[in-house]
């Protein structure tokens, strides 16, 4: 903990606060101002939709971060609650005419319950076997439930694709219609999710999760009901996944099981590996980095299209290649992720120029 | 002599009460190894009971059975705590009735700060659920501040680790980690404390400190814990224990006040082999 000289606290609450100096408050408010006003005003639709993709990745990876980074339960099937939440939200709007906000909550709860259902084996199994369970969640949910049962419920379309009229996404009088609206909605959701998760991690529940991650036997001996807290982690992570799915719906206005492949699950794990496992900012850095690198690759390939037309045709493979390469390079050179490096840079600046 | 003072000089008036924990005829086998072979003893309220014995005698197994760690359910026999049969309870339920412990090999939450470790120790006394915790500013912040105050003023004060509060537990020196473990165990405000080799690997000064903390936990008004101590450091054991129970090959071979046990020929033979008696004093 590093504070400017002369800063001291009179109460434990002040010592426990996130933003402990006026400067940090100013910085954070400035960031919020930039995110909510400067960017939507001056940035064009292309880059806004890019940021929407980043935001969706952040929201989706938040649950993965909670499970892998904070509770130590490795999940390779997080796309399942995301997809299930999106479908629950879409179907309740489509079939039951539920307003968007209520459908949003339904989607979150449904995704949370699905996640708990497949988390139940964690009472008995650990490690690899639990990973298998989460993979089972991925394949059972997306490839069977969504494709075969929930998708055709709408009675239209093909392969379980659901389209929803953009006008239906309204929060009170505000209709989430344009890219800019989706962007604003994304920022609001990201802030809420970040605040909620950061709060959880500094109170009793988050501590119990981290205790399970670090040393489950000691945690149990000290009175943590491990089974309950693991299921709670699955529920909250699933609900966060559902939230991401419900957001994705507003951004695209259609939803298909194809958006929630096993590859997307792995992608989310890659995001937190690169961003930093067990760090509150890890999934933000990771989402920015991975989505950004793909953008860069795209822009690098466009001028090459005339020379190597194959590069454009096979972009999908190149995308996977870049993802794999990024993970390998990070595991070799930066195993603790971007957030750790950023922390080191900050420490260096704090102590500069007398680092001893 | 390392520890100049004797227990009698510092002795606080304390009452040894009724048995708080009774271990009745507990058997436990791991595969073909009979780790515990019908062990019975009792711990009385307010006392420090030491469990000693050669390596592999079954001391830690008894402790784990009392604590109910996974894989340590007794094959037969009962463990009764404050009149309740806790033999089949899960560990977290045992914590809720006031049984706390430290571990032989340090089992801290390495990625969390010292303060968070202590707060986790206080887990069962706190109530915040996931919803209140996520909202934080309504209820959780008050509870956090209240328990933080308690931990700082009682636990950190007793174990003298205030300066480390915001440090990551896993990155601190071994001696300090041992103290943090004791602090974490004390944070729940236990009535019964299981200490598994709290002095293992400490230097002389740290042993003296640790002994002081254990005596504080036993005697000071705000703690008054009954303590079951497993320890190899005979100097400490003989100085601070009210009673000593000696194990050998999964069986109890002696039970009594330190002087009695020290002079028990069976103990000397079993525990020390053929080495002369003077060896039983410290170092």
pLDDT tens per residue across span A58-89:
999 999 999 999 999 999 999 999 999 999 99
pLDDT of residue B2: 47
Q: Looking at beta carbons, which residues of chain A come within 8 Å of B166?
A: 1
Rounded Cα distance, B24 and A155, in Å: 68
Name the token pair of A128. 């690899």
Evaluate whether B79 touches B192 at the Cβ level (below 8 Å).
Answer: no
- Nearest C-alpha of chain B: how many angstroms from A318? 37
Q: Cβ contacts (< 8 Å) between A222 and chain B: which residues?
A: 92, 95, 100, 120-121, 123-124, 184-185, 188
- Write down the number of H helices and E strands in chain B: 12, 10
- Asked if the structure places residue B103 within a domain, the reply is no
Q: For position B117, what pLDDT does the model report?
A: 95
Check if A343 contacts B (Cβ < 8 Å). Answer: no
Contact residues, chain A, for B116 at CB < 8 Å: 207, 210
User: Residue B76's domain spans which residues?
Assistant: 1-98+190-283
The answer on B210 and B252 residing in a single domain is: yes
What pLDDT score was predicted for residue B1? 41
Residue of B nearest to A229 (CA): B130
Contacts of B119 in chain A (CB under 8 A): 204, 207
Q: Of B188, B212, B239, which marks where a domain is finished?
A: B188
Which of chain B's residues have a Cβ under 8 Å away from the Cβ of A218?
Answer: 103, 107-109
Of B141, B166, B185, the CB nearest to A1: B166
DSSP-assigned states of every residue in A270-322:
HHHHHH-TT-TTHHHHHHHHHHHHHHHHHHHHTGGGGT-HHHHHTHHHHHHHH
Q: Which residues of B touch A72 (CB under 8 A)?
A: none
> What's the token pair of residue A122?
């964690």
For residue B242, which of B28, B42, B101 has the smallest C-alpha distance?
A: B42
Whether B74 and B117 map to the same domain: the answer is no
- Please write the tens of the pLDDT for every residue from A254-274: 888 889 999 999 999 999 999
Tokens for B66? 């009392």
Q: What residue in B sits closest to A195 (Cα-Cα)?
A: B134
Judged by a CB distance cut-off of 8 A, whether residue B70 touches chain A is yes
First to last CA, chain A: 16
What span, in angstroms and rounded, lies between the C-alpha atoms of B194 and B198? 10
Instruction: Give B 189-218 residues with CB within 8 A of chain A.
Output: none
- H or E stretch covering B220: none
Which of B188, B205, B225 lies at the terminal end of a domain, its last residue?
B188
- The tokens for B91 are 């560990």
Q: What percent of chain A has pLDDT over 90?
A: 63
B141 touches chain A (CB under 8 A): yes
* pLDDT score for B279: 52
Residues B91 and B115 in one domain: no
CB contact under 8 A, A207 and B140: no
Interface contact A221, partner B, CB < 8 A: yes
Block residue for tokens 């050669």: B54
CA distance B35 to chain A (A): 21
**β strands within chain B, DSSP E:** 19-30, 33-44, 48-52, 76-81, 84-85, 99-101, 192-196, 226-230, 243-248, 251-256
Judge if B283 and B154 occupy the same domain.
Answer: no
Q: How many domains does chain B have?
A: 2
B128 and B169 co-located in one domain: yes
Residues B15 and B88 in one domain: yes
Q: Does the beta carbon of B130 lie under 8 angstroms from any beta carbon of chain A?
A: yes
Asked if B282 and B215 sit in the same domain, the reply is: yes
Instruction: Find residue B29's DSSP bridge partners.
Output: B34
B261 Cα to chain A: minimum distance (Å): 31
Provide, as residue numbers in chain A, all residues whose Cβ is less than 8 Å from the Cβ of B128: 203-205
On whether any CB of chain B is under 8 Å from the CB of A350, the answer is no
pLDDT score at B194: 94
Q: How far apart are CA A161 and CA A184, in angstroms?
A: 26
**Closest chain A residue by Cα to residue B94:** A223
B154 interfacial to chain A (CB closer than 8 Å) = no
State whether A211 and B112 contact (CB < 8 Å). Answer: yes
Write the CATH number for B21: 3.40.50.300
Q: Determine which of B111, B130, B181 to mutate to test the interface with A (most A C-beta atoms within 10 Å).
A: B130
B163 touches chain A (CB under 8 A): no
Interchain contact A332–B (C-beta under 8 A): no
The answer to whether the Cβ–Cβ distance between B152 and A224 falls below 8 Å is no
Task: List per-residue pLDDT tens for chain B, 283 residues long.
Answer: 445 555 555 555 677 888 999 999 999 999 888 899 999 999 999 999 999 988 888 899 999 999 999 889 999 999 999 999 999 999 999 999 999 999 999 999 998 999 999 999 999 999 999 999 999 999 899 999 999 999 999 999 999 999 999 999 999 999 999 999 999 999 999 999 999 999 988 999 999 999 999 999 999 888 899 999 999 888 899 889 999 999 988 889 889 998 888 888 888 877 666 555 555 555 4
A347 vs A355: CA distance, rounded Å: 9
Q: Which of B188, B211, B232 lies at the terminal end of a domain, its last residue?
A: B188
As a whole number, mean pLDDT of residues A6-30 equals 86
In this complex, is the C-beta atom of A217 within 8 Å of any C-beta atom belonging to chain B? yes
B68, B116, B123, best to mutate vs chain A, most A CBs in 10 Å: B123
- How far off is chain B from A235, nearest CA to CA, in Å? 10
Contacts of B101 in chain A (CB under 8 A): 221
Rounded to whole angstroms, what are the CA distances from B121 to A225, B14, B95, B215?
13, 27, 10, 20
Q: pLDDT value at position A317?
A: 86
Domain layout of chain A by residue ranges = 42-262
Q: With CB atoms and an 8 Å threshold, state whether B136 touches A203.
A: yes
pLDDT for A213: 93
Contacts of B8-14 with CB under 8 Å at 24 or more apart are B10/B215, B12/B219, B14/B46, B14/B218, B14/B219
On whether both B220 and B274 belong to a single domain, the answer is yes
- At A354, is the pLDDT very low, low, confident or very high (cuts 50, 70, 90)? confident
Please name which of A38, A255, A8 lies closest in space to residue A150, comparing C-alpha atoms. Answer: A255
Q: What is the pLDDT of residue A3?
A: 75
* Residue B48, Ramachandran bin (φ over 0: left; ψ between -120 and 50: alpha; else beta): beta
pTM of the model: 0.91
Closest Cα in chain A to B125: A223
B254: in domain: yes
Q: To the nearest whole percent, how much of chain A has pLDDT over 70?
A: 97
- Residue B144 and residue A16: Cβ atoms within 8 Å? yes
What is the per-residue pLDDT for B272? Answer: 62
| Domain shared by B121 and B153, yes or no | yes
Please state, in angstroms and rounded to a whole number, the distance separating the CA atoms of residues A161 and A155.
10
Minimum Cα–Cα distance from A213: chain B residue:
B109
Residues B31, B249 contacting (CB under 8 angstroms): no
The partner residue sitting opposite B128, judged by closest CB among A203, A217, A225, is A203
Distance from CA of A132 to the nearest CA of B (A): 23
* Inter-chain CB proximity B123 and A222 less than 8 Å: yes
pLDDT tens for A143-163 read 999 888 888 887 665 667 788
Number of alpha carbons in the 13 Å side-chain half-sphere of residue A176: 23
Answer yes or no: do B84 and B195 share one domain: yes
| CB pairs A-B closer than 8 Å | 119
Same domain (yes/no): B34, B78: yes
Nearest to A12 among B107, B140, B148 (CB): B148
| CB–CB contact A218 B119 (8 Å) | no
Q: Which residues of B touch A209 (CB under 8 A)?
A: none
Considering the domain boundaries, does residue B67 fall inside one?
yes
A182 Cα distance to chain centroid? 16
Contact A220 B91 (CB under 8 A): yes
Bridge partner list, B247: B252
Same domain, B234 and B246: yes
């Amino acid at each position: 903990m590093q504070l400017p000289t002369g800063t001291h606290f009179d109460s434990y609450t002040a010592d426990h606060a996130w933003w402990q100096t006026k400067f940090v408050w100013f910085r954070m408010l400035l960031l919020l101002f930039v995110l909510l006003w400067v960017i939507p005003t001056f940035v064009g639709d292309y880059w806004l939709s890019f940021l929407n993709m980043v935001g969706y990745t952040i929201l989706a990876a938040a649950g993965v971060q909670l499970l892998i980074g904070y509770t130590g339960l490795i999940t390779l099937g997080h796309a399942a609650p995301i997809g299930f939440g999106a479908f629950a939200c879409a179907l309740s709007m489509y079939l039951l005419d539920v307003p968007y906000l209520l459908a949003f909550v339904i989607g979150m709860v449904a995704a949370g319950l699905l996640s708990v259902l497949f988390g139940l084996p964690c009472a008995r199994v650990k490690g690899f076997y639990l990973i298998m369970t989460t993979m089972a969640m991925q394949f059972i949910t997306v490839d069977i439930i969504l494709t075969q049962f929930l998708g055709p419920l709408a009675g239209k379309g093909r392969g379980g694709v659901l389209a929803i009229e953009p006008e239906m996404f309204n929060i009170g009088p505000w209709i989430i219609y344009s890219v800019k609206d989706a962007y604003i909605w994304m920022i609001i959701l990201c802030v809420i999710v970040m605040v909620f998760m950061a709060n959880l991690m500094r109170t009793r529940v988050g501590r119990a999760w981290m205790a399970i991650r670090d040393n489950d036997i000691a945690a149990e001996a000290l009175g943590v009901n491990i089974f309950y807290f693991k299921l709670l982690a699955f529920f909250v992570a699933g609900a966060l996944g559902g939230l991401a799915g419900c957001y994705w719906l507003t951004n695209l206005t259609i939803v298909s099981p194809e958006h929630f492949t096993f590859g997307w699950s792995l992608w989310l794990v890659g995001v937190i590996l690169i961003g930093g496992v067990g760090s509150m900012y890890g999934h933000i850095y990771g989402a920015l980095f991975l989505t950004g690198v793909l953008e860069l690759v795209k822009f690098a390939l466009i001028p090459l299209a005339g020379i190597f037309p194959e590069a454009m045709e096979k972009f999908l493979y190149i995308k996977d290649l870049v993802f794999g390469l990024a993970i390998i390079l990070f595991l070799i050179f930066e195993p603790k992720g971007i957030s750790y490096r950023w922390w080191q840079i900050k420490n260096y600046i704090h102590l500069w120029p007398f680092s001893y | 002599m390392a520890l100049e003072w004797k227990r009698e000089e510092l002795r606080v008036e304390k009452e040894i009460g009724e048995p708080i924990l009774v271990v009745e005829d507990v058997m436990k086998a791991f595969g073909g190894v009979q780790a515990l072979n019908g062990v019975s003893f009792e711990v009385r309220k307010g006392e420090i009971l030491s469990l000693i014995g050669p390596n592999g005698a079954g001391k830690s197994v008894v402790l784990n059975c009392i604590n109910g760690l996974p894989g340590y359910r007794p094959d037969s026999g009962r463990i009764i705590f404050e009149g309740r049969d806790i033999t089949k309870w899960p560990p977290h339920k045992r914590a809720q009735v006031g049984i706390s412990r430290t571990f032989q090999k340090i089992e801290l939450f390495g990625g969390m700060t010292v303060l968070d470790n202590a707060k986790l120790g206080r887990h069962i006394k706190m109530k915040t659920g996931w919803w209140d915790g996520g909202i934080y500013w309504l209820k959780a912040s008050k509870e956090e501040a209240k328990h933080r105050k308690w931990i700082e003023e009682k636990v950190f004060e007793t174990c003298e680790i205030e300066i480390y509060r915001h440090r990551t537990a896993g990155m601190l020196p071994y001696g300090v980690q041992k103290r943090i473990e004791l602090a974490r165990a004390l944070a729940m405000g236990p009535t019964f404390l299981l200490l598994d080799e709290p002095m293992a690997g400490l230097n002389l000064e740290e042993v003296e400190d640790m002994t002081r903390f254990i005596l504080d936990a036993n005697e000071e008004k705000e703690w008054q814990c009954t303590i079951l101590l497993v320890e190899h450091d005979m100097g400490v054991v003989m100085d601070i224990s009210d009673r000593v129970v000696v194990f050998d090959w999964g069986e109890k071979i002696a039970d009594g006040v330190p002087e009695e046990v020290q002079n028990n020929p069976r103990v000397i033979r079993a525990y020390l082999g053929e080495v002369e008696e003077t060896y039983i004093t410290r170092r």
